[in-house]
Amino acid sequence: MHTLTPMRRNLCAPALVLALFLIGAPAATADTITGGVGAAWQTWVVANLDQDNKPYWDGNSWDSSLPMNIGSCLTATGACTQLGAGAPGAIPFWGLAFTSGTDSGGGADSDFHFLRSSDQGTAALRLEIAGNAEWNTFGWYDTTAPVTLHEIFAGPVDPGEPAAVAVFIPSASYGFYLGARNGDIYRTQSSSSSANAGKQHFAVFQESATPGAEVYWIGVEDLRFGCDGCSSDKDYQDLVVRVQGVTNAVAEPGTFLLALTGLVGLSLIGRRRAR
């Protein structure tokens, strides 16, 4: 007579699978932009590029008799074809309500910044069309301490150099700044700029909204405008940077500990039932 031995379920294996899943799964996060009331992503088309400052970055560039502002550069049209096949096209911009069909609205959000949830950012200097290119600097700042500047690119860096690509790890709440030749510091939160306060010197465009890997194009105007003695063409292509967030597939320490605890607990239960 044979005695049938009950099958012992191996509870450790499911626990191990669960642990590996939690440890290996990347967090679905991304750096997001936040700004003033009424600001959001606005759509536009190439036909809107008539240099009438609608949207606000559609200025009449002094660099050419043909259209050559940031919109022309992103679409590789007019006199700004330097990006070639790498131009992202007419991607949404951050600002106030804009109606593409009537080419109306599109004012600037004077104060915006970013909330970080990616592990790090990659910045690529793609274009500089400015007489002050040798002196301009670009970087990020913590919104709680805007006076402290963290430089990413210095003036002498050219878009074609290896140094024109940099990795940066900003704070949880951060903005970008441009340091101008005359000492002015312009911030995405323009109310905290050292000069020309309240005037937005940045134009941000969104190439990708993929969680964990959002891609932004940032165009900057490096001269004062809208004040006595100021002179600027507001073309926002004096410095153009492509920024991408990167989220690594590494679990947080707390997630790892939780998975490990679950593995040990289920292992003990399995041993007791096996007796």
Global pTM value: 0.80
Taking residue 200's Cβ as centre, other Cβ atoms within 10 Å add up to 28
pLDDT at position 275: 55
Angstrom distance (rounded) from CA 93 to CA 178: 19
The encoded tokens of residue 40 equal: 């959001």
| CA dihedral for 79, 198, 226, 108, sign (positive or negative) | positive
Phi then psi for residue 85, to 5 deg, are -65, -15
Q: How far apart are CA 141 and CA 55, in angstroms?
A: 26
Number of separate helices (H) and strands (E) present in the chain = 3, 15
Distance, in Å, from the CA atom of 241 to the CA atom of 124, rounded to the nearest integer, reads 6
Q: Which amino acid is at 40?
A: A
Mean of the pLDDT values across residues 213-223? 95
**C-alpha–C-alpha distance, residues 192 and 136, integer Å:** 18
Give me the chain's average pLDDT, please. Answer: 84
Kindly report the backbone phi and psi dihedral angles of residue 246, in degrees, each rounded to the nearest multiple of 5, phi listed first: -130, 125
Whose CA is closest to 220, among 206, 205, 240?
240
Contact 168, 152 (CB under 8 A): yes
Long-range (24+ apart) CB contacts under 8 A made by 46-55 are 46/71, 46/75, 46/77, 46/90, 47/103, 48/100, 48/103, 49/75, 49/77, 49/78, 50/103, 52/103, 53/234, 54/98, 54/103, 54/104, 54/105, 54/106, 55/93, 55/95, 55/98, 55/105, 55/106, 55/107
**Residue 29 confidence (pLDDT) above 90:** no
- Smallest CA-to-CA distance from 205 within 57, 81, 15 is with 57
Read off the pLDDT of residues 74-122 as tens digits, 9 standing for 90 and up: 999 999 999 999 999 999 999 999 999 999 999 999 999 999 988 889 9
Give percent of the chain with pLDDT exceeding 90. Answer: 69
DSSP state of 217: E
What mean pLDDT comes out for the span 25-44? Answer: 80
pLDDT band per the 50, 70, 90 thresholds, residue 242:
very high
Per-residue pLDDT of 155-171, as tens digits, reads 888 888 888 999 999 99
pLDDT for 157 equals 87
